Amino acid sequence: MTHHIVIAGGGASGAIMAANLFRLGDGALRVTLVEASGEIGKGLAYSTTNPSHLFNVRSGQLSAFSGTPDHFDRWLAIHHPELTRNGPFVPRGIYSEYLEAALRETAPVGKLRILPQACVGMRELEHGVEVTLADGSSLPAHFAIVATGFGTKQEGEGLLSNPWTDPLPEDRDARVLIIGTGLTMVDTVLSLLDNGHRGRIVSVSRRGLLPQRHALHRPLQLSTADIPLGASLHYLCRWLTDLVRTHVASGGDWRDVMDGMRPHIQTVWKNLPTESRQRFLRHAASFWDVHRHRMPPAQAERIDAVLESGQLEIVKGRFLSAEQRGDRLFANVMRPGWDEPGPFKADVIYDCRGVRRRADQDLPGLAGALVESGAARLEKLGLGLEFDRNCALVNMHGEPSARIFGIGPVTLGTFWESIAVPDIREQARQIADRIASGGRSAARGSIARLP
């Protein structure tokens, strides 16, 4: 029997998921990728065409298949040999080309269908799943996978410009204010510089922290037993700081510890008491992010140069609101130690606060619809949907689905580290494995009896 799997969302997660399904599925499945934009493998991260927008992980970690780590590097050597000469951090804009090639390589003829539509609902039935589309039609499937990404709004909000979709200022001397000092700010500054921008750029965030830079290092080999799982955030932070201190004192690099922790983050997050997770989001997430998501050296050098020249200034402060007076914009920013917010004058304000959803925002799109119908529920912190450890969607009664799964940033609230390609491909392998083995047992009995 051929199993039909519907994937909602054809960004990097959806494409990696489909390629892994085909690889593990022995040709006994067909996949429908439902992608609202009709463009596969792009999504928010890989739609950029600016060659200065680099991956923040090395090319050796970007294979779509965790079991074939050199798959991307081999493709790169054949199709973009010129890029391999510039070091291991390559432009993100080529990734959708790679993902399309991975799909062509793995999908048997006639088994992959791409539907340029929005998926608006999923309902688990006794023997399958019904997936509803925006045009009112529905698709019957054996399994469905939610791969709709961060699901945050992509349009600029009010007076704030969207760094991914709004044009760069025509006036090269315009005064630019950027809300956020993370990797999206870095991309935006590089876009401005590539466009010949001469004007002043001020970037503001609560802590004023810039992402650290990558350097050669060797990840520490940590086992789960080394980590104080279940301890409070306070204890965990002290343990990690001590580990870094001891490691650096013996000649190592702090990055060794950060990257040594990486394979264990999902386990740490799962074992962290809810109150500690909340404290992490409030007090530690921005420190974690700047050490964990680092700038490639080529980007760091350009950012250092504009900081040194004074064209770019990083300011500590909390953005409150923006208003327009005449043809100028003003951002109200509360600086540390100030009693009242001070206005920052700007011609353009970019919102680079990142794509992570805040718990107070409505859950948009398909994810919101799944919660409304009871097919899903929010995880405890309200950051997103709840999944079980096998990426199965958990319904309003707390029961994991046997047929609906989630992959990528949509699972962030449950796993925390499920955003970067190395994490996404591992989830894809797990889900594909589960579906393939489910399919094999279904061939012997009823598919409804999947574990």
Ligand X SMILES: Cc1cc2nc3c(=O)[nH]c(=O)nc-3n(C[C@H](O)[C@H](O)[C@H](O)COP(=O)(O)OP(=O)(O)OC[C@H]3O[C@@H](n4cnc5c(N)ncnc54)[C@H](O)[C@@H]3O)c2cc1C
Pick 8 or 376: Cβ nearer ligand X: 8
Instruction: Specify the 3-state DSSP secondary structure of 273.
Output: coil
Instruction: Specify the 3-state DSSP secondary structure of 130.
Output: strand
Does 419 bind ligand X (CB under 6 A)? Our answer is: yes
Contact region for ligand X (CB under 6 A) — 101-109, 141-149, 165-173, 230-238? Answer: 141-149
Pick 43 or 439: Cβ nearer ligand X: 43
Interface with ligand X (CB under 6 A), residue from 148, 276, 395, 401: 148
Ramachandran quadrant class, 148 (left: phi over 0; alpha: psi -120 to 50; beta: rest): alpha
**Greatest pairwise CA separation for the chain in angstroms:** 72
Contact predicate 177/346, CB 8 Å: yes
Does 24 bind ligand X (CB under 6 A)? Our answer is: no
Does 83 bind ligand X (CB under 6 A)? Our answer is: no
Does 14 bind ligand X (CB under 6 A)? Our answer is: yes
Pick 32 or 106: Cβ nearer ligand X: 32
Interface with ligand X (CB under 6 A), residue from 6, 12, 190, 376: 12
AA identity, residue 265: I
Pick 169 or 408: Cβ nearer ligand X: 408
Contact predicate 31/112, CB 8 Å: yes
| Cα separation of the two ends of the chain | 19
- The H or E element that residue 185 is part of is helix 183-194
Does 365 bind ligand X (CB under 6 A)? Our answer is: yes
Q: In angstroms, what is the minimal distance from the CB of 135 to ligand X?
A: 12
Residues 34-63 that bind ligand X (CB under 6 A): 34-37, 43-45, 55-57
| Residues 243, 311: Cα–Cα separation, whole Å | 37
Residues 171-230 that bind ligand X (CB under 6 A): 184
Interface with ligand X (CB under 6 A), residue from 99, 147, 333, 385: 147
Q: How many residues interact with ligand X (rule CB under 6 A)?
A: 33
Contact region for ligand X (CB under 6 A) — 5-13, 137-145, 229-237, 375-383? Answer: 5-13
Contact predicate 312/177, CB 8 Å: no
Does 409 bind ligand X (CB under 6 A)? Our answer is: yes
Does 406 bind ligand X (CB under 6 A)? Our answer is: no
| Residues 417, 32: Cα–Cα separation, whole Å | 27
Across-strand partners of 124? 129
Interface with ligand X (CB under 6 A), residue from 25, 128, 149, 317: 149
Does 161 bind ligand X (CB under 6 A)? Our answer is: no
CA-to-CA dists, residue 234 to 240, 277, 336, 381, angstroms: 10, 11, 24, 19
Helix axes 297-309, 183-194, angle to 10 degrees: 70
Q: Residues interacting with ligand X, by CB under 6 A?
A: 8-14, 34-37, 43-45, 55-57, 92, 118-119, 147-150, 184, 355, 365-366, 408-409, 419-421
